[in-house]
Amino acid sequence: MMSDFHASQSLIRRARSGLMMAALALVAVPLAGCSSLDSLNPFGGEKYETKLLPDVPAEQIYDQGLARLQKKDGEGAAKKFGELEKQYPYSQWARRGLLMQVYSQYEGGQYDDAAATATRYIGLYPSSQETPYAAYLMGMSYYKQIPDISRDQENAERALQVFTSLVQKYPKSEYVEDAKFKIQVTRDQLAGKEMSVGRFYLARKNYTAAVNRFREVLAKYQNTRHAEEALYRLTEAYLGLGVTNEAQTAAAVLGHNFPDSPWYQDSYKLLAGGGLKPEESKGSWISKAFAKVGLG
């Protein structure tokens, strides 16, 4: 029995000695071999050294963002304000930082980023007092990217949607008046796009396609400056199609609503050249469109 005990103790000592030698051997492995060992050990150390940075007060980060804004560094300011949400999540500083991130991106001309961040702010803080401002900045981010009428008007449509929502949801907001003005501008822009395409079809005597475009103007944007020309172009297109009653109605509605318009004078002459005169048909879609929506 004693011999078995001494034998077991000897094995333990040798095992411990072996573990010690293995540990020393690992320590002696050159650094170049660490990557291969790490790849075999899923619990190995990090490839890059992790440094523990001291906590920076939220107010200090916020002030650093403001300082970058003063230097016209919108992109840098946005990144700095973004740190607040990372370091102080679910705090008032995170909320303030997110809003200032929107503003910084907007000021820095990062309009797509500003719109996306504003969308996120509104989703996180729908009842915040600053939510109308975030919505306004979102609308302005799209508004700033509206191209000329020869190009796609997706940004104009988005701006119109955002500004309309702002007016409806926050009617007492200080941004409502400017939003209403921007709505008029974007609607005029969208109507201008339809008119441009309609003229294109009209010039190529594709009268049906032209009518559809001018009809769109009267259906959606009849309170814009393009309504007068749209009625004249309808007179022209319907004459081209030989649909004289609609041509006469378009001219009559034009004369009734815009009696001093040069477009009415042109439509009157156009009809007179074919022995016709303006005469409204109450059953026409043109008459119904103006009776339903009206001008003003």
Average pLDDT of every residue of the chain:
85
What is the helix (H) or strand (E) element at residue 133, kind and residue range?
helix 131-143
Please give the structure tokens belonging to residue 231. 């009625």
- Mean per-residue pLDDT for 217-236? 96
The verdict on 198 and 285 lying in the same domain is: yes
Note whether residue 288 is domain-resident: yes
Which of 77, 112, 145 represents a domain boundary (last residue)? 145
The tens digit of pLDDT for each residue in 206-224 reads 999 999 999 999 999 999 9
Which of 112, 130, 145 represents a domain boundary (last residue)? 145
Q: Which pTM value belongs to this model? A: 0.77
The verdict on 199 and 285 lying in the same domain is: yes
The tens digit of pLDDT for each residue in 2-43 reads 443 343 344 334 433 443 333 333 333 343 444 443 443 443
Which CATH number does the domain housing residue 118 bear?
1.25.40.10
Note whether residue 127 is domain-resident: yes
Note whether residue 118 is domain-resident: yes
What is the helix (H) or strand (E) element at residue 286, kind and residue range?
helix 285-293
pLDDT value, residue 118: 98
Note whether residue 222 is domain-resident: yes
Which of 145, 177, 211 represents a domain boundary (last residue)? 145
pLDDT value, residue 290: 84
| Distance (Å, whole) CA 254 – CA 231 | 6
What is the helix (H) or strand (E) element at residue 105, kind and residue range?
helix 92-107
The verdict on 215 and 284 lying in the same domain is: yes
Note whether residue 211 is domain-resident: yes
Note whether residue 29 is domain-resident: no
Residue ranges making up the domain that contains 211: 194-293
Task: Give the angle 83-86-88 at the CA atoms, nearest 5°.
Answer: 95
State the total domains in the chain: 2
Note whether residue 242 is domain-resident: yes
The tens digit of pLDDT for each residue in 86-129 reads 999 999 999 999 999 999 999 999 999 999 999 999 999 999 99
pLDDT value at 144 more than 50: yes
Q: What is the DSSP string of 228-269?
A: HHHHHHHHHHHHHHT-HHHHHHHHHHHHHH-TT-HHHHHHHH
Note whether residue 49 is domain-resident: no
